[in-house]
Amino acid sequence: MTSVKYTDEHEWIRVDGDTATVGITDYAQNQLGDVVYVELPKPGQKVEKGKQAAVVESVKAASEVYAPVTGEVIEVNQALVDEPATINAIPWARAGL
C-alpha cells in the first residue's frame, strides 16, 4: 500500500516502489485561484530535493513547485500543460511530475 506525504510548501508525494508521483495540494490550488499555465520538467530531467521542479501560474500569481525528493523525471502529466485549469477541477490531476 502506498501512502501520501506532504511538504511544508504544499506539494504531495506518493511513492510506489522506486517511482514517485508528485503534485500540489488542494490548498495550494485554492490559494492560486484559476490556473492558466503549467510548466513541467521534461522526461529525463533530473530534479533535486528542495529545488524548483515546475511552475504553476494563475490569474493571481505564479508559484514554483519544489521537488520533494531527488530523482529523474520519467513521465509528466501532459494534460496539465494542455489544459492547466484541470488542476482546479480534478483533484487527482494535480499530479504534475
Complete DSSP assignment for 30-89: HHH-SEEEEE-PPTT-EE-TTSEEEEEEESS-EEEEE-SS-EE-----HHHHH-TTHHHH
Domain 4-94 falls in which CATH fold? OB fold (Dihydrolipoamide Acetyltransferase, E2P) (2.40.50)
Q: What is the pLDDT of residue 96?
A: 61
Mean pLDDT across the stretch 3-21?
93
Phi, psi at 70, each rounded to 5°: -90, 140
Q: Could you read off the pLDDT of 16-63 as tens digits, one per residue?
A: 999 999 999 989 999 999 999 999 999 999 999 999 999 999 999 999
Predicted structure pTM score: 0.86
pLDDT, averaged across the chain:
91
Give the pLDDT of residue 90.
Answer: 74
